[in-house]
Amino acid sequence: CEEGFSGFLCDINNNIKANTSILGISLIVFCFFLFVTLVGVLCCGCQKVRYNRCDNSKHF
């Protein structure tokens, strides 16, 4: 831990760092899945307009 912190503040600081990393990872994973889902929906929507059905085997 950084010098100048008392034991109590040191624990709080470490907890905040640990929670931030967990939250950061969760946020990245959530955003990734959201992005993948959005891309899938958009591609499906474009194909529905083009082919009148959602067929992933047909490309633009």
Task: Identify whether the C-beta of residue 5 lies closer than 8 Å to the C-beta of residue 13.
Answer: yes
Q: What are the residue boundaries of the structural domains of the chain, listed by start?
A: 1-59
Q: What is the pLDDT of residue 34?
A: 92
Instruction: Identify the CA nearest to 41 among candidates 54, 60, 23, 29.
Output: 54
pTM score of the predicted model: 0.46
Coil, strand or helix: which one is 53?
coil
pLDDT tens-digit series, residues 3-43: 555 667 777 777 777 777 778 888 889 989 999 888 888 87
